């Protein structure tokens, strides 16, 4: 899969973007969220099993990737 992602340019993705690093960033963020959640108030953790938290994480991940891909 890594070879598929990094071996050619993709339409709509800026030239020179390190696709391998982008893929690992997605993996790191997702596994971190699944394993640890997000920090909440008073040292609480916001977890994947809370639908609003999952939606929030997904939205933030997409916005971050859009900004990185189209910068």
Structure tokens at 17: 């973007």
pLDDT at 14: 83
Whether 67 is in a domain gets the answer yes
- The SS3 of residue 39 is strand
Whether 5 shows a pLDDT value over 60: the answer reads: no
Whether 50 is in a domain gets the answer yes
pTM, two decimal places: 0.77
- The SS3 of residue 45 is strand
Which residues sit opposite 38 in a β-bridge?
46
Per the structure, the count of domains in the chain is 1
16-60, pLDDT tens digit by residue? 888 889 889 999 999 999 999 999 989 899 999 999 999 999 999
Residues near 7 by beta carbon (within 8 Å), at least 6 away in sequence? none
Whether 2 is in a domain gets the answer no
Whether 44 is in a domain gets the answer yes
**Beta strand 45-46 with 38-39: parallel, antiparallel or unpaired?**
antiparallel
Whether 5 is in a domain gets the answer no
Whether 63 is in a domain gets the answer yes
Q: Which range marks the domain in which residue 62 is found?
A: 33-71
Structure tokens at 70: 């189209």
Whether 18 is in a domain gets the answer no
């Amino acid at each position: 899969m890594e070879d598929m992602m990094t071996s050619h340019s993709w339409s709509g993705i800026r030239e020179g973007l390190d696709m391998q690093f982008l893929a690992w960033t997605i993996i790191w963020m997702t596994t971190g969220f699944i394993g640890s959640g997000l920090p909440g108030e008073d040292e609480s953790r916001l977890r994947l099993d809370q639908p609003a938290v999952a939606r929030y994480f997904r939205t933030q991940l997409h916005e971050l990737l859009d900004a990185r891909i189209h910068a």
